């Protein structure tokens, strides 16, 4: 406690038990997200990490769910952009469409129009 007339001291939240914290490598392995992406998410304020006395990042286990939902959200947004581009371009070219015909897989069936089921 601060004495009368002294400014209050800043208190920090106690570090969690080491078993509850994950290293960057462990988070990356568990979520499938690159370590650089984890650092980027932290810079954006999407996730938080605590620092060890050696200044290494440690993530609380509940951040796994947050990172996994974030990665899923980014995938959905990427798909939405691709679909919007597909609808907007009107090319109707199965050969050129990277979304519906990646690597021209339908080209192996020969020339001519192909119908998708």
Total number of residues shown for the chain: 117
Question: Does the pLDDT at position 98 exceed 70?
Answer: no
The 10s digit of each residue's pLDDT in 58-68 is: 999 999 988 88
**Average pLDDT over the chain, rounded to an integer:** 74
Terminal-to-terminal C-alpha distance of the chain: 72
The 10s digit of each residue's pLDDT in 43-96 is: 989 899 999 999 999 999 999 988 888 778 888 888 887 777 666 555 556 556
pTM for the whole thing? Answer: 0.49
Regarding predicted confidence, which is higher, 59 or 99? 59
Residue 76 belongs to domain with CATH number: 1.10.1660.10
Q: Answer for the pair 57, 51: CB distance below 8 angstroms, yes or no.
A: yes
Q: Could you tell me where the DSSP H helices lie in the chain?
A: 24-31, 35-44, 63-89
**Is residue 93 in a domain?**
yes
**Is residue 55 in a domain?**
yes
pLDDT value at residue 102: 63
Burial of 67 (0-12, 13-18, 19+ CB in 10 A): buried
Domain coverage including residue 39: 18-106
């Amino acid at each position: 406690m601060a004495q009368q007339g002294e400014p209050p001291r800043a208190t920090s939240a106690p570090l969690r038990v080491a078993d509850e914290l994950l290293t960057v490598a462990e988070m990356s392995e568990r979520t499938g997200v690159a370590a650089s992406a984890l650092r980027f998410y932290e810079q954006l304020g999407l996730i938080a990490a605590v620092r060890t006395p050696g200044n290494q990042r440690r993530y609380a286990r509940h951040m796994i769910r947050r990172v996994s939902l974030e990665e899923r959200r980014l995938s959905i947004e990427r798909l939405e952009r691709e679909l919007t581009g597909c609808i907007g371009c009107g090319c109707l070219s199965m050969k050129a469409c990277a979304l519906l015909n990646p690597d021209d897989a339908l080209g192996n069936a020969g020339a001519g129009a192909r119908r998708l089921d």
